[in-house]
Structure 1
Amino acid sequence: MGKDAYKAAGVDIFAGEQAAAKIADMTAQQKDPHVLSGIGGFGALYELPTQLKQPVLVSGTDGVGTKLLIGIQAQESGTVGEDLVAMCVNDILAQGALPLYFLDYLGIHHVDPDEIAKIVGGVQRGCQKGQLALIGGETAEMPDMYAKGHYDLAGFAVGLADKADLFSPDKVQAGDVLIGLPSSGLHSNGFSLVRQILFKSHDFKLDAVIPELKQPLKTALLTPTRIYTAALKPLLTQKCLSGAAHITGGGLVENLPRSLPETLAAQIDWTAWTVPPIFKWLQSLGELSTQDMLQTFNLGIGMVLIVPAAQVKTVEETLKMAQEAYVTLGKVVPRTKAAVEFVGAATV
């Protein structure tokens, strides 16, 4: 079977080659000296730094979920690649590791080289923000698998840490302070519920300007997930944290306990931060309870740092120097019942 026969079956090899060339051009500008070979080979090669006593590789994999459907509907594919990198890299950071490299997988109905370049361009921007190298990936054209105009996106990141510096619940102690780093909005969680509220229960159009949000709906929904490498890297280098939690699906109430021992709880002050308008708007539209909101969305906090009391001043000064916004959410206390307890009015 030749290339023409394969094209007749729905797979355009020439278009795939053009797309691969565009991706190779994008990644050729990377300056990481540890990348020995990248796009184009059967496998990507990365030489590990050797300055650590007990080097441990930390890996994380994720996708973008049904947020992709919003991008497809809006015909805007330039941001979802950033979401993909963010969801993987933020998990690496929450383990106490610094990201090294990233690989992506794109399954698509039809290969349009320019469209592929937009999608992977977003991945590349995410890698730049995450301070890691995009060293490989795969684009699979499968017209029988995906509907016309549709695609799926997944990837994984690998990071590195010294074994002694990795976060674990047993390093967290009562009295540690919880510092929250703001999210950029919905990030990439809860979109099945968001779509249910906006497009099934209501008939919103993506280009509609929403008064409560002061911007087009598609802009609010497609704002890329924030990547926290710039904020956490100096803190990890200074070894001034005892833990961290990436606030993804499940929100504060399900993600914070993953970083705590069973004997301790996170006590959070509801008055410490203002929940962004998009969450309040969705809650009102969907008639959602506070518990629904807590278990689905980040509510404006994308990463929580667990800081020993003696290191709070250092952390705050480091964040201020980097012009990183933060809020003091509360503290770690002995657990009496729930792993996360709230002080103040428990309303969104």
Structure 2
Amino acid sequence: MPPAPSSGGQGESYNAMGPVWISMALIIGSLIAWFFWHTYLVAFYFHVKLVEIDMIQFFTLALEDTKQFILNTPAATVTMDQAENIAATIGHYLKIPVSLMLMLMAMLLYFKSALGKYKNSYTMKTLTEHQLAVWPYLTPVVNLNLIEIDIDEGPWAMAMQPMYFAKRYQLLQLEKVGSQPGQLRKAETTNVTLLQNRAIRLFRMQLGSLWTNPEKLPIHVKALFAAFAAKALRASEESRSFLDKLSASSGEGKPDFSDVEGLFKKYINHPEILKVTEKHAYVLTVMASVIEFARLDGVLATAEFLWLKPLDRRLWFMLNCVGRRTAFVEVSAPFAHWLAEKEMGRKIVTPMIDEAVKALDQALKEIKYNPDKES
């Protein structure tokens, strides 16, 4: 027994017949309109044709007979053949100007349409160079071919995966496990355990410097602090132009920091900013809260200071994690400490990194160890 046709095929057949039914409806509707409203339709038709004849008579009087026929013939007596003859006679004179007008409109559409403006073909590099004026944040990478560089190597490497991080910093204790009795295939597996004490020491180092004397901060930290503070205090244009200048001057790797000190001193002791900085003990946690404060005034993406990534990778990833539910393992300790300070509402000098260690341990348990791979 042949299978029943699918509903999809029936739908396609119905859709294909749609234009046919519409055409038939238009023809039948036109005939009905001609039969019942013949006089009104012809009267309107004659009015339109008289307007066309008046325009043509600026150039020639050859349509005078047609004009007189329209003026002297009752609309009720006009047949369809007579209406067609009038249209053909007038159309003979209109076809040239109408054709020229259509050609002009086509040319305007071709040369003035939005689609006609897209005439250039760009590579990724040339498109990046073309967009520099609009997006100066691209400057640090415009002359780099990152596609050809290993994604896990160099200053532009992506964030480390937990297993790769643990291997790199020797945080794993390995235990070889042989085949179990009854297994058909003999295979040796490796169980890994996080070395807790080593992880704790490493995560303490991740916290970085204490926030003690802002005047002695590295110049790039001062620059970003000033930009974030300006935006937080509703000086959005000042902040944006400052970040744009830093990005635009970063083509050789290091931005122009000549204007940093003035902007930094303008905002470092502002009461609203001090309310934020006084609640955190470390430079990384202060910077995280300052950018969070700045975002109350609108979007502030880490892409706007892309130059920071090769210059201070840990700070860049810390700022990049603000707003996320979880942090990259490279900054999991300062991120955990930052959350603890926010929860307590005050600065904490003692490293609050237990949750970061637990998270790394949990992540490693969910990843199968492969000695031949780094992630």
TM (norm. structure 2) is: 0.21
Higher RCO, 1 vs 2 (CA within 8 Å, ≥6 residues apart): 1
Larger strand proportion, structure 1 or 2? 1
Higher helix share: 2
TM-score (norm: length of structure 1): 0.22
Q: Which has the larger radius of gyration?
A: 2
